[in-house]
Amino acid sequence: MNPPLLIVSDLDSLVIHTNCTNTVKKVTTHTLDETLTKNGLGMIRSIFYAPNTFRSPITPERVTEEVAAKFARLAQLITRYEKHAAPQEIAHFLTRLLFCLFAEDIRLCFCRSFNPLPRILVI
C-alpha cells in the first residue's frame, strides 16, 4: 500500500506528488516562501489532516475516454480529407501513432518529436 502523498523538499521548494487510488497523479510545487502565507499554512495543515484535498478529480478512465474521443475525431477528419484511404489503413496509422506516443512517454524513444502534439490534438 502506497501513501496518498509523496512530498519532497529542497531549500527553495516543496513538491507534492499525489498517489491516490483510481485517480490521475498530480504534482504541485510551492516555494517555501509561499508556505509562510495563510494559504500556505492551510496547505501544510491539509497535508497532515486532510490529504484527500490534493486528490485529483480526474480518473484514468476519464482520461482514456477523452483521448479515445479525440482519436475518433482525428479518424473522422482523416476520412474526410483522405477519401481514398481505407478504414483499415486509417486505423493502422492511428495505432502506430498511439504506439509512438506511448513509446515516447515511457522514454522508450528519446526523440521527443511529439512534444507539441497534445496542443495539436485539441480538436
Reported pTM: 0.60
Instruction: Report the domain count for the chain.
Output: 2
Whether residue 68 sits in one domain with residue 106: yes
Whether residue 71 sits in one domain with residue 36: no
β-pairing, 13-18 vs 27-31, is antiparallel
| 10-residue averages of pLDDT along the chain (123 residues) | 85 91 89 92 93 88 91 89 85 88 78 56 44
Helix (H, G, I), strand (E, B) or coil at 30: strand
Whether residue 72 sits in one domain with residue 49: no
Q: Please write the tens of the pLDDT for every residue from 15-34.
A: 999 988 888 888 999 999 99
Cα dihedral 69, 115, 99, 24 sign: negative
Domain that holds residue 88: 60-120
Predicted local confidence at residue 112, as pLDDT: 62
Predicted local confidence at residue 123, as pLDDT: 42
Predicted local confidence at residue 1, as pLDDT: 61
